[in-house]
Amino acid sequence: MKRLFTLLFILTAAFKLSAHASDLDSLKQKLQVTSDSLKGPIYTQIAAQYLGYDTVSTRRMKYYFQTEALNYTMLALHYYSTYNDTLGQRTSFNALAKVYRSQRKFIQAKWFILQSNTISRQRKDTLNIITSLVELAAIKSDIKDYKLSMKDLNDALNLSLKTHDPKKESVVQVGYAELYRKMNDFDKAAAAIKRHEFLDDSLNQVTVDSIAKVATADSIKIKKKDSVLAKKKVYTSNLKRRPMLRYARHITSMSFSQSPLLFSSL
């Protein structure tokens, strides 16, 4: 049984690598026939394929994926900077911060996530301000700068509460839990996780309720539609029957009008 599971794992991994290689080949071929002014998004897509380095088992292959992710993200960033595409720049900054944090190059990681945060603030994009603050807090906690990490999380929490966004608050609570664990404050970590789970459960219930409302509304619409169709069928059927009824009445009236003659002939 153990051998079977091992074999299945190897086959699954091989299939994923094959699909990954196929996607990369397709994107790289597309890159060859695309003009320079349109290559940025393709560079980003290729980089995204390599950003899945966490699924790679060997250290050497993981390092290769990280290197390629950095290379293609830098190419994309150059394109986005040339055309002043701030959304593309922000996507690139987030990707670079992720890779550098994984490589424990925290100075670079912090710099790039700060650039992402700056763009989000310039665009007044609250959701992405919160996301970048949570990531910035995580990087600072990695280097044991717990005080500043807590400040970033507090800022993120205030923004999530101000915008009434429980989904983002849930993410912030996970950030608190990770920080408190590193600070060995396990009671507060547990409280943060409990709050996170409560928010997630509430969001899931809202989703279930929304689906139920949509299903009920659809059911009512279907019933109304069926009722209209049924009435239409009855009306159509009656229209078809009316000429036949008139004809039958006409025949009947003729037969009665002729009956005295028949009796008299007898």
> In this structure, what CATH number is given to the domain that contains residue 143?
1.25.40.10
Q: Which of 124, 148, 165 is the last residue of a domain?
A: 124
Residue 227 lies in a domain: no
Based on the fold, state whether residues 58 and 114 are members of the same structural domain.
yes
Rounded CA-CA distance 256/253 in Å is: 5
Based on the fold, state whether residues 41 and 119 are members of the same structural domain.
yes
Q: Which of 63, 95, 124 is the last residue of a domain?
A: 124
Residue 48 lies in a domain: yes
Residue 144 lies in a domain: yes
Residue 147 lies in a domain: yes
Based on the fold, state whether residues 106 and 160 are members of the same structural domain.
no
Place of tokens 């709050």: 195
Q: CB of 57 within 8 A of CB of 13?
A: yes
**Structural domain containing residue 213:** 125-219
This prediction's pTM: 0.71
**CA 257 to centroid of chain Cα atoms:** 80
Q: Which of 91, 124, 157 is the last residue of a domain?
A: 124
Domain count, the chain: 2
Residue 249 lies in a domain: no
Task: Identify residue 119 by its one-letter amino acid code.
Answer: I
Q: Spell out the per-residue pLDDT of the chain, length 266, in tens.
A: 556 554 454 444 444 454 566 788 888 888 887 888 889 999 999 999 999 999 988 999 999 999 999 999 999 999 999 999 999 999 999 999 999 999 999 999 999 999 999 999 999 999 999 999 999 999 999 999 999 999 999 999 999 999 999 999 999 999 999 999 999 999 999 999 999 999 999 988 866 756 766 666 666 667 666 666 766 666 666 666 666 656 656 665 665 555 554 444 44
